[in-house]
Structure formats: C-alpha cells, structure tokens
Amino acid sequence: MFNLKKKSFKKFDFILFFTTIALCIYGLILIKSATLSYGNYYKYLKSQSIAIVLGVIAIFILVLMDYQFLGKLYIPIYIISNFLLIAVLLWGFGEDTWGSRSWLSVGGIIFQPSEFVKIGLIISLSKFIDNNKETINEPFTLFKILAFAGFPILLIWRQPDAGTSIVFAFFIALMLFIAGLDWRYVGYAFGAVLVALPVLWLKLKPYQKDRIFDFLQPERNPTGTNYQAIQGKIAIGSGKVFGRGLYHGVQTQYNYIPEKQTDFIFAVLVEELGFMGGMLLLGMYFILINRLIKIARNSSDLFGSLMVVGISAMLVFHIWENIGMTMGLMPITGIPLPFLSHGGTFLLINMVGIGIALSVGMNREGLNF
C-alpha cells in the first residue's frame, strides 16, 4: 500500500498543489463575504476550514500511497458507492427543501453521497476499462462497461438529480473516448440521446422544466423561478472591472442573491472583485486543469491516466456549468464551483481527486514544466 522507495518526490507537482491551496483560500475569503450578512459567518468558515485540513491530509496520504492499491479495491469501491446511492433512495432527505432526495445524515453528520460516488466511480470505472482495454470496441465489452457505469447514474437520476447525472455522463464519455472508443460509437450515442430527449423531457420534474424555460426566456417570472438568475446577472454586471470592493457588494450584502455561498458564489466574486477578480479565478483554474492534463498524458499506465482524465473532466464540467449558469449562459442546475462553493463534502472530494492525480504524477515518466 505504502512504498516510499518507489516514490520520486522530485516529480511532486508543487504547482498543482499550491494552486489548489490558493483556490481554497480564495474560496474562504469569498465565503466570508457571502455569509457576512448572516451574522454567523464563522460557522461557514469553520466547516470549510475543517474540510480543507482534512483534504490536505487526504492529499498527502494519497501521495504516499501506491495508487495501484486503489485499483485492487475497485470492486469494493463500486459496491460501496452503489450502496450509498441506494441508501439515499431509501432514507435520504432534501426533496422538500432542495428539490431532490440527495442527502444522508449519519451520526448527525449530513453529507451528499453522490459526491463520494463521483470519485468512487472514476476509480472503479478506470480499472474496469483498463481490464477490458484490448476489447473495448467489441459490442459485448462496451455493453458491460456502459452497464457498469450506468447503474449509479440511474440511481442518481431517481433522486432526482439531473445536474449530477449529467456530470457523471460527461466524465464517463470522456474517459471512454480517451481509452480508445471508436468514433462510430460516439455517433450512435449522439443519435440515441436525440431519440431519448422527448422521453427525458417527460421525466423531468416541473421545477426542472422551469429552469429550462427560464434559460430560454431570461425575463420570464422575474420574482419567481427566474429570480436567482436575474439577481446573479445584476451582481455580475455591477462589478465592472474592479468590483464594488470586498464585503461591499449590494446584491451580496443585502441578500438579494439566493444560495450565494454555494451555487452563486461566482456572482459574489465578480460583484465585489470585478472582472479582474473573475479573471484571476479563471487563471488559477487554467493552471490547475493544465497540470492535470499533463499528468494524464505522462502517466505510466492507462488506469492512472483514466483516473486523472475523469477527475479533470469532473472539475471542468463543474467550472463550465457553474460559471455559465451564473452568467445566464447555461440553465441553472445547482452545480457548485470547485474549491470555492461552501460545502465540506464537495470540497473534500475535489481535494481527494487532486491527491489521486498527484499520486499518479509521482509515477509518471517525466514532468514537463
């Protein structure tokens, strides 16, 4: 499990590590601003800080660990992941408050199992694909892989959590493509999605349909279902180049923005720190994703490469969807922003993903700066 002799610490990606820490600190600053008007901002900072500390510990444990050990446990990881999702359907809560039954409470600790399952499925699917890489384009093998990956997505869709289901579908598709999936299957998949769209539409909840209608008609229902989107765009537009100043955002400090410490924290950022603050964030994200791509490209084996690809795709989708929905360029889905949005489970899982990537990087062939 731990084999320090095989670890070359000269290959530790300090740029990736310190970029992650910088993003976490940036997030703490913004969470304080977003919750300052609540009067108990320290509660949010405390929980986020605990998640950061646990995340750093997890990173160093994973760096010292031989990541191949995770591959040996891919079946138990897969089983536990699905058990958590089944437990959510049986004993979960949140449907009345957040629109989906996506949370569990164990010993007073509330968490969202689908966040753990993201990493769990990335690990287990990477190993499953690696075990079948020679025959991945054979119909029976591909069916096995899709069934393996599709079962947890079906459980998440049943919560219902369409946004998270799409995240899973995105990183699974990219992992398969990188593993060498034939282009004809990509065409088949695209055609199947088009055929299934009417059925998927009928399965959507009323609030999910409202989000799509609100996206297509930005001025629709400004005091109801479209209120959050409109207030977010007002906040972003009022930030201009340098922002209104930290802790001085009108939309933020007067609580016009719902879920401002989680889903809409990017609106807080741009209102108070302006275009320059937003570009700073995008610059750090660019560095982060670029380092992950380099690790994936230089990995010594397909298993490690696919894990990093899956982690990268997960983060990219979250960044793209969250910033897009905040700016009115994507429908609102409740997707948080990596390392910035408040949420201990989400932050911890993102840092675990970085730890896995760093561990893979320690075993790669070379590091190109």
Q: Render pLDDT for 323-354 as a digit per residue (tens, 0 to 9).
A: 999 999 999 988 999 999 999 999 999 999 99
Residue 365 has pLDDT above 80, yes or no: no
pLDDT of residue 137: 94
For residue 51, the model assigns a pLDDT of 96
pLDDT, position 368: 39
Q: Who's near 295: CB < 8 A, 6+ residues apart?
A: 13, 16, 308, 357, 358, 360, 361, 364
Task: For residue 112, give Cα distances in angstroms to 115, 141, 348.
Answer: 6, 31, 12
With a cut of 50, say whether residue 80 has pLDDT above it. Answer: yes
Position 183 confidence tier, pLDDT thresholds 50, 70, 90? confident
Phi, psi of 105 (to 5 degrees): -125, 120
Which residues on neighbouring strands pair with residue 173, listed in sequence order? none
pLDDT (0 to 100) of residue 232 = 94
Arithmetic mean of pLDDT, 204-232: 88
Whether residue 291 contacts residue 19, with contact meaning beta carbons closer than 8 Å, is answered with yes
Annotate 86-149 with DSSP letters as a single string: HHHHHH-B-HHHHSS--BEEETTEEE-HHHHHHHHHHHHHHHHHHHTGGGTTSHHHHHHHHHHH
Residue 6: the pLDDT is: 54
Query: Which whole number is the average pLDDT over 194-204?
Result: 85
Mean pLDDT over residues 107-126, rounded? 93
Mean pLDDT on 249-276: 96
Q: What is the C-alpha separation between 334 and 103, in angstroms, rounded?
A: 14
Residue 96 in this model has a pLDDT that exceeds 90: no
Of the ranges 34-38, 118-122, 201-205, 249-253, which one carries the lowest mean pLDDT score? 201-205
- Torsion 272-275-279-285 (CA) sign: positive
Residue 102 confidence (pLDDT): 87
For residue 322, give both structure tokens.
Answer: 């969250």
> Residue 35 and residue 23: Cα distance in Å, rounded?
18
Across residues 309-324, what is the average pLDDT?
97
65 three-state secondary structure: strand
CB 247 within 8 A of CB 272: yes
Q: What is the mean pLDDT of residues 296-316?
A: 96
List, in sequence order, every beta strand (DSSP E) within 125-224: none
pLDDT at residue number 369? 32
* Alpha carbon distance 29, 21 (integer Å): 13
Quickly state the pLDDT bin for 263 (edges 50, 70, 90). Answer: very high
> Given pLDDT bands bounded at 50, 70 and 90, which one contains residue 364?
low
Mean pLDDT of the chain: 91
Give residue-wise pLDDT tens across range 145-172. Answer: 999 999 999 999 988 888 899 999 999 9
**pTM for this prediction:** 0.94
**Cα 173 from Cα 355, distance rounded (Å):** 23
pLDDT at 49 > cutoff 90:
yes
Per-residue confidence (pLDDT) for residue 8, from 0 to 100: 57
Contacts of 10 (CB under 8 A, 6+ apart): none
In this prediction, residue 366 has a pLDDT band, given cuts at 50, 70 and 90, of very low
Percent of the chain with pLDDT over 70: 95
Rounded-to-integer distance, Cα 213 and Cα 78, Å: 36
Region 243-257: mean pLDDT is 95
Please, which residues bridge with residue 104 across strands? 111
CA distance 307 to 63: 14
Q: What are phi and psi of 106, to 5 degrees?
A: -125, 115
Q: Return the axis-axis angle of helices 265-298 and 14-35, rounded to nearest 10°.
A: 170
The closest of 23, 122, 117, 107 to 70, measured between CA atoms, is 122
